Chains A and B, each alone.
Chain A
Amino acid sequence: MPISAAEPLLDIHGLEAGYGKIAVLHDVDMTIGAGEVVTLLGPNGAGKTTLLRAISGLVSWNAGGVTFAGQNLAGIGPRETARRGLAHVIEGHRIFTNQTVTDNLLLAGYDVPRAERDARVDEALSYFPEIAAKRDDRGSTLSGGQQQMLAVAQGLVRQPKLLMLDEPSAGLSPVLVDRVLAVVTKLQKTGTAVLLVEQLIEKALAVADRVYALAQGKIVLQASTDEADLPRRLEHAYFDSEAA
């Protein structure tokens, strides 16, 4: 899908962020258009998770700016960004194990008007029939893959404009990874933009429109996924980032 000439949905420029004294992200620029699937790749410690956290407001920035749907996200915390249509599914499929699947989804819809909540829960479950069958089961009884699906479903309850997924494939079997990524494609068709952080390069490139690579806190590669020779360029970017 071509990037529209109009304002992008998410616009990051010159972002500097970190934890306390430790600066992780340096001068990061990124744009995501409405309905685009963008994948963010990079070696460990590069700062991918930190970037997602900075966008959703879990981590504060030192410099730069982030605009979402035309509004500035400066100083805004995760509750407000979620309200504005930016859903962040954090890494590690951290769902609430002591509560049922339905309750987990209801919690995701905490700020959704009460009348609509049940409908939204049903809608989110419709993407994942495997866990829809386990609506009343506690989170602790779900397998790792099912918990990951539940975490993604939580992100969908808000009907976000942009869904950010942090390594949804971690610890999942290949079959389940394909299931989750198939949902990403389905979402794209409904007009939801997706920012996918991944370790599995081939699968991520297959499902995305554009790719960014992050190494040591800086963007070292930016391309469309139909460009040639991407795997080699990525390897270069990962291992020889000083030269880049």
Chain B
Amino acid sequence: MLASIIASGLAVGAVYALIGVTYNTMFSASRVMSFTAGQLGMLGGVFGSLFVLRLGLPLVVGLVLMLVCCAIVGLVTEFVAVRPVLKSLDQHLYVLSTLALGLMIQQVVAVEWSTEPQAFPRVFGIGGGGILDEKFWLPMLTCAVTICALELLYRRTLTGMAFLAIAEDNFAARALGLPERNLRMASYALAGMIGGLAGFSGGQLLLAFVANGPLLNFYGFVPVALGGLGNNRGAIVGGFALGLFQQAANFLVGGIFSSVAVFMLFIVVLLAAPRGLFGVHLARRV
């Protein structure tokens, strides 16, 4: 039983962690938290199921197509919901515009795809259903690979370094002549792909289900709240911790109350440490 909790906890935790990274990537590029992060996770699963199962494409092709589509959704988010509101002084507008876009995505999928969970294809066909089944280690593997790839990107490529630069000091980056707008768009496309990967790799656990959208919006945000905005390491730790906590609660008090438990944890942590457990320094108000 313990092994099963750990396996499923780490697996679903990896998905949550990656959605947290999606939030962070969008935030680093624009100082905006977007309600489309969870929807991208949902789309990863839905596109995977659509391309591979419904359209019968080979898995690799389906994966690539999914990445492309999710990148486009990321770009659309930047262009439609973020860029126009960055210019305005009003703090709250981005919440509304990204919420609206997220809802639109969700409704299109609900109507055109299905409101019921749909099957997700096997990826490697390894495991046979026990705790070593691919549906458990695939998300973890994807999470590890993604983190390593991001590290390589940020440390070894000029574009990645430029992402870090606009995240640390947007104004100085602009003054230095960095193409801030293009970098922001690229960040959103990247965030789209990370979200899609999260949903794709977790597809066998979460299935291709439109309700995953708001679910991942919330559960993917908890690691961000715990780890501090923009802090990917915190999001990873937070994601795995959340996954384990949730599965343990599931086992102990049952499915319905486990979400209550998670939520209580979320509220308590936030009220105690509004900037996250690893704290992010906020600008002075006055």
Contacts and interface: CB of A to CB of B under 8 A. Distances in A.
Interface in B165-193: 165, 168-169, 171-180
Interface residues of B, number: 17
A103 B162 CA distance: 10
Given A94-B169, A94-B171, A106-B158, A99 B164 contact: yes
A110 B175 contact: no
A110 B158 contact: yes
Interface of A: 56, 58, 77-79, 81-83, 88, 90, 94-99, 103, 106-108, 110-111, 154, 158
Q: Which residue among B158, B162, B164, B175 has the maximum number of chain A CB atoms within 10 Å of its CB?
A: B175
A90 B172 contact: yes
29 contacts: A56-B175, A58-B174, A77-B174, A78-B177, A79-B178, A79-B180, A81-B177, A83-B177, A88-B175, A90-B171, A90-B172, A94-B171, A96-B164, A96-B168, A96-B173, A98-B168, A99-B164, A106-B158, A107-B162, A107-B165, A107-B173, A107-B176, A107-B178, A110-B158, A110-B176, A110-B177, A110-B179, A111-B177, A158-B177
A78 B174 contact: yes
B265 interface: no
Contacts of B164: 96, 98-99
A95 B171 CA distance: 11
B162 A90 contact: no
Contacts of B165: 96, 99, 107
Q: Which residue among B158, B168, B177 has the maximum number of chain A CB atoms within 10 Å of its CB?
A: B177
B162 to A, nearest CB: 6
B177 A79 contact: yes
Contact of A96 (B158, B169, B177): B169
A154 B176 contact: yes
B253 interface: no
Given A96-B169, A98-B164, A106-B161, 18 more contacts: A56-B175, A78-B174, A78-B177, A79-B179, A88-B175, A90-B171, A96-B164, A96-B172, A96-B173, A97-B168, A99-B165, A107-B165, A107-B176, A107-B178, A108-B176, A110-B158, A110-B179, A111-B177
A153 to B, nearest CB: 12
Majority secondary structure of chain B interface residues (helix, strand, loop or mixed) = helix
Contacts of B162: 107, 110
A117 to B, nearest CB: 8
Contacts of A111: 177
A68 B169 CA distance: 27
A78 B175 contact: yes
B207 to A, nearest CB: 39
Contacts of B168: 96-98
A94 B170 CA distance: 10
Contacts of A77: 174
Contacts of B174: 58, 77-79
Contacts of B173: 96, 107
Contacts of A107: 158, 161-162, 165, 173, 176, 178
Given A97-B168, A98-B168, A107-B165, A90 B175 contact: yes
A95 B172 contact: yes
A58 B172 contact: no
Contacts of A81: 177
Nearest to A80: B177
Contacts of B178: 79, 107, 110
B142 to A, nearest CB: 26
Interface in B124-176: 158, 161-162, 164-165, 168-169, 171-176
A241 B210 CA distance: 67
B163 to A, nearest CB: 11
A58 B175 contact: yes
Contacts of B180: 79
Nearest to B176: A108
A94 B173 CA distance: 9
A88 B180 CA distance: 16
A82 B158 contact: no
Contacts of B169: 94, 96
B234 to A, nearest CB: 15
Contacts of A56: 175
A159 to B, nearest CB: 13
Q: Which 9 A-B pairs have the closest CB atoms?
A: A82-B177, A94-B172, A90-B175, A79-B177, A96-B165, A103-B161, A78-B174, A96-B168, A79-B179
Nearest to B89: A20
Interface in B107-124: none
